[in-house]
């Protein structure tokens, strides 16, 4: 079976928050601290479908959403910043995250991005590998620890030539 990329709004409100909850379930403190932010993010995209259609998409396998990615296009053409990026736990390790991020990078470049930026947390080692595998270059680690459980924030970017 092959994955497809579909509009976020083709799926019910609440889908983004559910995907985030599952994909970060390896560390329960993420949900404790970020549940409200995830719900606000979900509400924003569903309340603003014109934004959702140009700054994110759902990754779908056999009709089921298994992940999504979003980005902030407000600084285009100078830069676009990856926002949320996740794959459901049971689908991790199958290359879907890499393919999802490759598609996102292509879309941001098509929107004119000269630079694509992403931040992740030290605890999210698979995300670091995904970003590096699609061409992001390490820039720096934050000087401060993001949280006691997530570690330092790590900054990556792609410079589009």
Domain count, the chain: 1
Residue pair 77/41 in contact (Cβ under 8 Å)? The answer is: no
pLDDT of residue 145: 60
Residue 26 belongs to domain with CATH number: 3.40.630.30
| Domain region containing 50 | 3-159
146, pLDDT greater than 60? no
Q: Using pLDDT thresholds of 50, 70 and 90, give the confidence band for residue 137.
A: very high
Q: Tell me if the pTM is above 0.95.
A: no
Q: Residues 123-135: what's their mean pLDDT?
A: 89
pLDDT of residue 143: 67
Residue 53 CA to residue 30 CA, distance in Å, equals 27
Q: Using pLDDT thresholds of 50, 70 and 90, give the confidence band for residue 1.
A: low
pLDDT of residue 59: 98
Query: Which is it for the CA torsion 94, 3, 85, 78, positive or negative?
Result: positive
The dihedral region occupied by 93, where left means phi > 0, alpha psi between -120 and 50, and beta the remainder, is left
């Amino acid at each position: 079976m092959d994955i497809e990329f579909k509009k976020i709004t083709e799926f019910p409100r609440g889908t983004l928050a559910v995907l985030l909850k599952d994909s970060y379930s390896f560390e329960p403190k993420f949900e404790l601290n970020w549940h409200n932010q995830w719900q606000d993010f979900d509400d924003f995209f569903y309340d603003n479908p014109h934004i959702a259609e140009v700054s994110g998409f759902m990754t779908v396998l056999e009709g089921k959403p298994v992940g999504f990615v979003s980005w902030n296009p407000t600084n285009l053409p100078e830069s676009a910043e990856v926002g949320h990026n996740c794959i459901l736990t049971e689908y991790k390790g199958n290359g879907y995250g890499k393919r999802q991020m490759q598609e996102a990078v292509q879309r941001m470049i098509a929107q004119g991005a000269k630079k694509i930026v992403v931040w992740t947390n030290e605890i999210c080692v698979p995300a670091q590998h995904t970003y590096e595998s699609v061409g992001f270059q390490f820039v720096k680690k934050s000087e401060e620890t993001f949280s006691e459980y997530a570690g330092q924030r790590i900054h990556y970017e792609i410079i589009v030539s």
